[in-house]
Amino acid sequence: MTLEIDQLTVGPAGHERLVDVSLRVAPGELLAVIGANGAGKSSLLQAIVGDVSPVAGRVVFAGRAMDRYPRRERAMRVGVLAQASPLAFPFSVRDVVALARSPHGTGRRVDCEIVEAAAQATDIVALLDRAYTRLSGGEKQRVQLARVLAQVWRAEDAGTRLLLLDEPVAALDIGHQSLVMHTLRRVAATGAAVVFVAHDVSLAAAHADTMLALADGASVACGPPAAVVTAETMTRLYAAETRIITHPTTGTPVVLHG
């Protein structure tokens, strides 16, 4: 297992942001976390990487407690994409993506190749020499994603790798959403485990191997998309009337309004 989370609880008693969440993610697996705003999705990612300390439970990554990793070794293995990044200085897009290689020391030539490859995978090759501050919201999101991908790009740099992505496709158009999901699948195929937060349940169901539904910090359902995406669970999560149909060709669940 790449990631093992056991009975993780975060936040002071009575105001928990996560309650008793357990989870297993295997190498090559794509896990989607769904839930309403404030359900604890981002808190889960923060707790996994150790930005917030749990009051109970533990996070084990590749057989070792996450908080026992030396900083640099963890940086070589775990990439984290936040919802928003406050970069306000006019770095070129290439420089932003190249920052991902800071922990590696793999040399300029290798780093340049990886930056190019990550840029290709997120369709930002044409933006590489532009200033980051002048990009649109969706373009910035793809640049940040390329940066996080470049950080854990090669299996030979680190072995077991983990990507934690908070809403990686939230600001993207349909074409780029699809591109990014296929890119994540390819990265997973090299042995990385991917955990991503999604609001588009249909998109997540179409691409994830496993889904975790969170409500008020607690796990409501966890399993293959067809088992998690049900009208009942949707009502429980979002308090919205939905209808679930099956995709005519792929067979994955699709959520419709009303």
Partner 1 sequence: MKPAGFIVGLALATLLAFMAALVFGAIRLGPVAVLGALLHTGTASSKTTLIVEAIRLPRAVLTLLVGAVLAISGAAMQGLFRNPLADPSLIGVTAGASAGASLAIVFGGALAGWAGLSLVSMAAFAGGGLAVLLVYVLATRASGTSVATMLLAGIAISALAGALTSLLEFYATNDMLRRISLWQMGGLEGANWSRVTVLAVVAGGVLVGLPMLARALNALLLGESEARHLGFAVGRVKYVLIGLVALGVGVSVALAGAITFVGLVVPHIVRLAIGPDHRRLLPASALAGACLLLVADTLARTVIAPTELPVGLLTSVLGAPFFILLLRGTRDYAL
Q: How far apart are CA 110 and CA 100, in angstroms?
A: 13
Site string for partner 1, 25-44 (x = CB under 8 A): --------------------
Q: Is 63 exposed, middle or buried (0-12, 13-18, 19+ CB in 10 A)?
A: exposed
Residue 12 binds partner 1, judged by CB under 8 A: no
Cβ of 133: how many Cβ atoms within 10 Å?
11
Residue 9 binds partner 1, judged by CB under 8 A: no
Shortest distance, CB of residue 104 to partner 1, whole angstroms?
9
**N residues, the chain:** 258
- Name, in order, each residue with C-beta under 8 angstroms of 156's C-beta and a sequence gap of 6 or more: none
Phi, psi of 9 (to 5 degrees): -130, 130
Q: How far apart are CA 87 and CA 47, in angstroms?
A: 23
User: Mapping DSSP to helix (H, G, I), strand (E, B) and coil, where does residue 181 land?
Assistant: helix
Using only the alpha carbons of the chain, give its radius of gyration. 18
Nearest Cα residue to 114 out of 8, 105, 213:
105
Residue 216 binds partner 1, judged by CB under 8 A: no
Residue 92 binds partner 1, judged by CB under 8 A: yes
The first and second tokens of residue 206, run together, are 């179409």
Residue 95 binds partner 1, judged by CB under 8 A: yes
Piece of 18-26, 35-43, 72-80, 223-231 that binds partner 1 (CB under 8 A): 72-80
Among 75, 97, 128, 163, binds partner 1 (CB under 8 A): 75
Cβ proximity to partner 1, 22 vs 133, nearer residue: 133
Cβ proximity to partner 1, 120 vs 133, nearer residue: 133
Piece of 24-32, 96-104, 188-196, 205-213 that binds partner 1 (CB under 8 A): 96-104
Q: What is the four-CA torsion angle of 59, 65, 66, 70, rounded to 10 degrees?
A: 170
Piece of 60-68, 100-108, 168-176, 230-238 that binds partner 1 (CB under 8 A): 100-108
Piece of 9-17, 112-120, 128-136, 226-234 that binds partner 1 (CB under 8 A): 128-136
Residue 76 binds partner 1, judged by CB under 8 A: yes
Residues that bind partner 1 (CB under 8 A): 49, 51, 71-76, 78-80, 82, 85-92, 95-96, 99-100, 102-103, 131, 133-134, 151
